Amino acid sequence: MPRTLTIFIDGVPFDQLERMAFANEFKTRARLVPILGYSVNCQTMLFTGKTPDEIGFWCEWEYDPERSPFRRIRALLPVLALAEAWYPTKRVVHKVLDRLGWVSSTKNIPIRYLAYFNQTGHSVFDRGFDGESLLDHPDMTSFLHWQFENNHQRDEVMFRAALEKIQSEDDPGHITLMLAGIDHCSHWEGVGSEPYNELLVENDRYIRELTNAYLGKYPDGQVFVISDHGMSNIEHHIELDLEARFGRPSPQNYTYFSEGTLLRVWSESETRLAEIAEYLDGIHGLRPFSDRERAEQGITRRACGDLIYYTDDHYQLVPSFWGPKPSVGMHGHHPSNRTQHGICLSTRSEEFGEEIGAKQFYAALAECLAE
C-alpha cells in the first residue's frame, strides 16, 4: 500500500513553479486546469471528484429565498440597511449579522438583499463541509486551517506539526496538509511582489523538508503537491450599476450576486433576463458563460444563475459583494486563461499528462488510498 503525502497550497499558478527550485524538480509536473469558480469548488472537487452539480453547490452563495437564514428577519433588513450609508456603521451591522452564526460571513453583500441568498457552499477543508471526501480515509491525518490559530505564522506552524508527525511516528500513515498563505498574499500584495516571491521560496522549503522526511520514512511513498487554481494581478475595474438601469432587485423583478470575477443573475421574466443580458454583453471585459460550457463543467443548476458572466483576465468587478475595494491579485477567471492554472506534482514519473482536471487528481489519490 503506497502511503501518500499530499501538500495542498492554495492558489499557486503553474507559471510560478520555476521560482520553486525543489518543487520544479518533481518527476511529474502537470497543469491543473480548474473549472470556472472559486476555491470552495476547486478544492472540494480535488478531494471528492464531484462537479458543482454533483456536490450540490457552486460558489459559497446561491439564490435560495426559501431557505435563506435571513428570511426570518426579512422585514428588519431595510432598516439595518440604513447603516450602509456610512462605512464604519456598515461594518458593525455586518459583524453583528455574522455573530448570529447563520453563515460564516456576510462579506459585502448588501444587507437588504441577504434574504434572497443562502450560503450553501463549504470547502472540503472547512468545518461546515458535511459530505464524504478522501480526507475521511481512516489512515488519513489532515492538517487543516481551522485547527490552528489564525495568524501570520499559521502555515509555518502547520508545516512543523506535519513534519513532527512524520518524524516522530513509526507509521504516520496518509497525510494531507493545507497551506493558504500564498493565496492571501497574492490577493493583497500581488503575484510577483516581494513578499509573494519570498512565500514561494518558503513554501518550497516546506515541500522539500516534508517530502524528504516522508520518503525517508516510506521509500515507496507517494508525494503530491497540488494547488486548486492559479492567480493573476488586476489591472482594470468594472463598475456595474444594475440598480440604476433595472431597478432594485426583488423576486418579482430580478436578483443578482456579484463577486470579484463572477456575476450571476436570476429572474422569472425571460424579457427581463434578455434586457439584462443585452446590457452585460456590451460591457468591456465581461463575458457570458455559455450553456455548453456550463454543461461541460457541471454548473447547470438554476440556483447557480439564470445568467452567469465572468470577467476577463486582469479585470475585476468593483465594488462587488466580495468586497468594496479592488484586489491586487485575483482568481476565478475563465480556465482558458493559463494564469488560472494550478499545479499538480507527483514524485512518481508519468503520473499525469501535461494538463489535468481536478477529477484526475482525485482518481490518482483515491487509487492510492484504495490499495
Give the shortest CB-36-to-Zn ion separation in angstroms.
Answer: 14
- Which one-letter amino acid corresponds to residue 182? I
Nearer to Zn ion, 200 or 223 (CB): 200
Q: Residue 155, interface with Zn ion (CB under 5 A)?
A: no
* Contact by Cβ (8 Å): 265, 45: no
Nearer to Zn ion, 327 or 347 (CB): 327
Give the shortest CB-187-to-Zn ion separation in angstroms.
Answer: 6
> Who contacts 193 (Cβ-Cβ below 8 Å, separation ≥6)?
185, 328
Give the shortest CB-335-to-Zn ion separation in angstroms.
Answer: 15
> Who contacts 268 (Cβ-Cβ below 8 Å, separation ≥6)?
251, 252
Q: Which three cell numbers stand for residue 357?
A: 482536471
* Contact by Cβ (8 Å): 135, 46: no
Helix or strand run (H / E) with residue 142: strand 140-143
Q: Which stretch binds Zn ion (CB under 5 A): 40-48, 68-76, 166-174, 180-188?
A: 180-188
Nearer to Zn ion, 183 or 313 (CB): 183
Interface with Zn ion in residues 301-330 (CB under 5 A) = none
* Contact by Cβ (8 Å): 311, 333: yes
Bridge partners, residue 310, by sequence = 262, 287
Nearer to Zn ion, 28 or 227 (CB): 227
Give the shortest CB-234-to-Zn ion separation in angstroms.
Answer: 13
Among 183, 228, 259, 313, indicate the residue that binds Zn ion (CB under 5 A): 183
Per-residue interface string for the shown chain with Zn ion, residues 94-133, x marking contact by CB under 5 A: ----------------------------------------
Nearer to Zn ion, 60 or 183 (CB): 183
Give the shortest CB-10-to-Zn ion separation in angstroms.
Answer: 6
Per-residue interface string for the shown chain with Zn ion, residues 63-82, x marking contact by CB under 5 A: --------------------
Give the shortest CB-183-to-Zn ion separation in angstroms.
Answer: 4
Helix or strand run (H / E) with residue 265: strand 262-266
In whole angstroms, give the CA distance from residue 357 to residue 368. 18
Nearer to Zn ion, 185 or 265 (CB): 185
Nearer to Zn ion, 183 or 306 (CB): 183
Count CB atoms within 10 A of the CB of residue 95: 11
In whole angstroms, give the CA distance from residue 195 to residue 309. 32
The secondary structure of residue 104, as a DSSP letter, is S
* Contact by Cβ (8 Å): 310, 333: yes
Task: Tell me which residues touch Zn ion (CB under 5 A).
Answer: 183
